[in-house]
Amino acid sequence: MQDQPTPDRPLKIGTRGSPLALWQAHETRRRLMAAHDLPEAAFEIVAIKVLGDQILDRALREAGGKGLFTREIEEALADGAIDIAVHSMKDMPTVQPDGLVIDCYLPRADVRDGFVSPVAGGIADLPAGAVVGSSSLRRRAQLALRRPDLRLVEFRGNVQTRLRKLDDGVAQATFLAMAGLTRLGMAHVARSAIAPEEMLPAVAQGAIGVERRAADDRVAALLAPIHDRPTGHQLAAERAFLATLDGSCETPMAGLAVLSGDSLWLRGEILRPDGSACIAGERRGPIADGPALGTDLAQDLLGRAGPGFFG
C-alpha cells in the first residue's frame, strides 16, 4: 500500500504502561509487521500514563469508572500524538469519543477467569470466612452469590501487584483473567480456570481492540489485514448487550457470545452488587443478528429485574 510507515516516519502505537498492556502493543506491532512485511523500526510504542493505573487506594467506581483506563490515551489519539491505541476491550466504554473508532480486533484469547490462591484449588475449596480480593464488581457479586460465607476485600493493581498482595497475605485468593496470565507466560499461576458455566466472564474478556481516528483511511488500510472477524462478531453482540444495560463499573454483569458455524449463542446475566440475586438469560440466532440479540437479551433481563435491582 502507499504511504506505509517507515523508520523515519514510524506508526505510533499508544498503550498503557503495564506489562500486560505493553505485551498487547508489541503483539499488535508484530502482526502489523508480518501483514505488511515491515521492520520493527517502522513502529514506535508509546506508553501513556492513565489515571486508572495510578489509583490503587480505592475502587475505580468511586473515581469515575472505565474511562479511567482510556481517557489520556484517547486524547493523545485525537490530538495526533499517536496513530493507533491498543486496549483491553473489557476496559472500554461502549461509546468512543467523537472522531475515534474501534473496528480492528486481534484474535480473542481464553475468556475464562483464573482462580489464584496459595491455599485452595478452587472456589469450593476455600474455607469458610476466607478473604478473597477483587476489584471487579462482577466477580465480587458472582462470588457472593456462590459463597456468601466468604469475606471480600478491594484488590487493585496490575497482575504483578495483585500477586504480590496475595503473597503478602492481604487475601487468600483472587481472580485474574486467564488471557492476561497466558499472554504474560504466567498461566501456571492459576490453580484452576473457571468454566463460563460456573462463572460467566466479563463482556469482551480476552479481546484486544485497536482504536484509530475515524477519518484516517491510511491507518484503516493498515489495520484491515490483522482484524479477526470472529472476534468482531462476538464483541458486536456482547457490547450491544453491555450498551443496552448502560454498563459501568457500578453494574455487576457478565456476557459471552460463542460462534458455531453461522450461528451465535449469547449468554448474559445481571447481579445485585451484594450477590443476593442473579437474573440470567440467553439468545441464539444468525451471526449477523448479534447486535440485535444483545440488545434484546439486555432488555429482557432489565424487564425481569424491575426498578431498583442494582440499588
The catalytic site residues sit at: 91
Q: Is residue 76 a contact partner of residue 82, using CB atoms and an 8 Å limit?
A: yes
Residue 305 cell numbers, joined:
429485574
3-class secondary structure, 306: coil
Contact 105, 228 (CB under 8 A): yes
Cα 264 to Cα 246, 247, 251, 270: the distances in Å are: 22, 22, 25, 20
Q: Classify residue 305 as exposed, middle or buried by CB count within 10 Å of its CB (0-12, 13-18, 19+).
A: middle
DSSP per-residue letters across 94-128: SSPPTTEEEEEEPPP---PEEEE-SS-SSGGGSPT
Tell me how far apart the alpha carbons of residues 11 and 82 are, in angstroms, rounded to a whole number. 8
| H or E segment and range at residue 15 | strand 11-15
Place of cell 449469547: 266
- Buried b vs exposed e over 230-258: b needs ≥16 C-beta within 10 Å? ebbbbbbbbbbbbbbbebbbebbbbbbbe
What is the distance between the alpha carbons of residues 202 and 111, in angstroms, rounded to a whole number?
8
